Amino acid sequence: MSQIFSYPHLREFTQEVFKRMGCSDEHAATASEVLLSADLRGIDSHGVARLIGYVRLWENGRVNATPNIRVVHETPSTAVVDGDRGLGLVVAPYAMEVAIAKAANVGSGWVSVKNSNHFGIAGQHAMMALDKDMIGMAMTNASPLVAPTFATERMLGTNPIAVAIPAKTQPAFVADFATTTAANGKLEILQRKSQEAPTGWIQDKEGHSSTNPHELKDGGALLPLGGDREHGSHKGYCLGAIVDIFSAVLSGANYGPWAPPFVSFLPLAPDPVGEGLGHFLGAMRVDAFRPADEFKEHMDKWITRFRNATPVAGEQVLIPGDPEREMESHRRQGGIPLLDPVVKDLREVGEKFKLSF
């Protein structure tokens, strides 16, 4: 069962929670905007459902509410940002602003981030570039849950990639996807409903294909996009590895199995190879390649042509970002449904900070 809450209500509550954790007004506003963007866009696993997780990380001393986020290394088109153990929800927007400023100066900007925490949905950060007529990119490493092709060991996170590309009269192209067959959030939904997972999503602890959504509790793993070798899982593994290296080896964060888990009850890996979690943010000015209007007119044409591609009977060809944009428009008006366990968690958070929810 679920209840519906308005966006302003959830936004205000979340912002107040971040303030009571000690965040500045500015950080609390940014963090709540980024977190809630997931709920608005229908990525329910990454929104307020995770607020209690961030609070617990803060309680365990893994999140610094008053971080000194700063550039520690740079060239005209690149930088490394040290997040000072801050919320990824504020560290990533800071880093994206650095990327955007560099793109404004020299055409493109690329920022690798260390010492951060989970940053919400990648797409939200990538989209910061759009109104500057820039292409935005965002990726992050994450809790190790994914076995590379031919491995039984969990070595990578679901390591998402987001790319946002502006158009002229059409809505922007916004791709945002985990580099696994299915995001962990989709598995959580099956767990709650006790439904079987499709083959190709998970394997058991010995590396056999499994449809048991609870397999991860018993040593199983999520599978890279592709599922198995015959269906290209080595490509999903490549993608997850590239995200890991760009986010964490370039910056000096923890990579691979050393990436810190999001849930506070799991211990950090011993002998860390870096600091915190890593992200990678990028921005390219479209007029660094061709006049912006010309580019955006062709993006309109690209989008229109693909949307009108001959569909399979009864289906419709979508442009990346279509479902999330429709969901946002729907939920801004009609509110955001939260499952009962999420409501319970938020009430618990409220009590902790003497806030009513």
The token duo for 36 is 């809630």
Of residues 163-182, those binding its own copies (CB under 8 A): 163, 165, 173, 175, 177-182
Q: How far apart are CA 322 and CA 311, in angstroms?
A: 16
The answer to whether 107 and 77 are in contact (CB under 8 A) is yes
The answer to whether 130 and 124 are in contact (CB under 8 A) is no
Instruction: Select the residue interacting with its own copies from 83, 88, 157, 256 (CB under 8 A).
Output: 256
Q: How far apart are CA 160 and CA 174, in angstroms?
A: 13
Angle at 152 between CA 56 and CA 203, to 5 degrees: 80
Between 148 and 213, CB nearer to its own copies: 148
Residue 266 interacting with its own copies (CB under 8 A): no
Residue 278 interacting with its own copies (CB under 8 A): no
Instruction: Select the residue interacting with its own copies from 8, 22, 198, 272 (CB under 8 A).
Output: 198
Instruction: Select the residue interacting with its own copies from 29, 101, 189, 242 (CB under 8 A).
Output: 242
Residue 3 DSSP symbol = E
Residue 141 interacting with its own copies (CB under 8 A): no
Nearest approach in angstroms of CB 161 to its own copies is 8
- Binding region for its own copies (CB under 8 A) out of 50-58, 59-67, 150-158, 331-339: 150-158
Give the CA distances from residue 103 to residues 72, 138, 292, in Å, rounded to whole numbers and listed in that order. 18, 15, 14
The answer to whether 46 and 341 are in contact (CB under 8 A) is no
- Binding region for its own copies (CB under 8 A) out of 20-28, 48-56, 281-289, 330-338: 281-289
Between 91 and 147, CB nearer to its own copies: 147
Nearest approach in angstroms of CB 235 to its own copies is 4
User: Which value, in Å, is the radius of gyration of the alpha carbons in the chain?
Assistant: 20
Nearest approach in angstroms of CB 292 to its own copies is 11
